[in-house]
Amino acid sequence: MMIAFGGLMFSTSYILMQFGFVLSLSVFIDTFFVRSILVPAIMSISEKWNWWPTSFEHPLQLQEEAR
């Protein structure tokens, strides 16, 4: 995606050059900062709330408890 958006920077229109730069920069930041550093850090901080649901209960057990 970064290469595709970077292709816009070779345009003669300044608007397309700006869009190409901003989109390429945002893809770069998303790839190397958000997905590789920020997401694992947030997942390690929120240990027990990380994955929902944490336990699986069988539907029949839920029906018996409701009775």
Residue 58: per-residue pLDDT:
63
pTM, two decimal places: 0.64
Domain count, the chain: 1
> CB of 5 within 8 A of CB of 20?
yes
What band does 44 get if pLDDT is binned at 50, 70 and 90?
A: confident
> What average pLDDT does the chain have?
84
Residue 46: per-residue pLDDT:
85
Residue 5: per-residue pLDDT:
94
pLDDT tens digits, 12-32: 999 999 999 999 999 999 999
Burial readout 25-63 (b: 16 or more C-beta within 10 A, e: otherwise): eebeeeeeeeeeeeeeeeeeeeeeeeeeeeeeeeeeeee
Domain that holds residue 33: 2-66
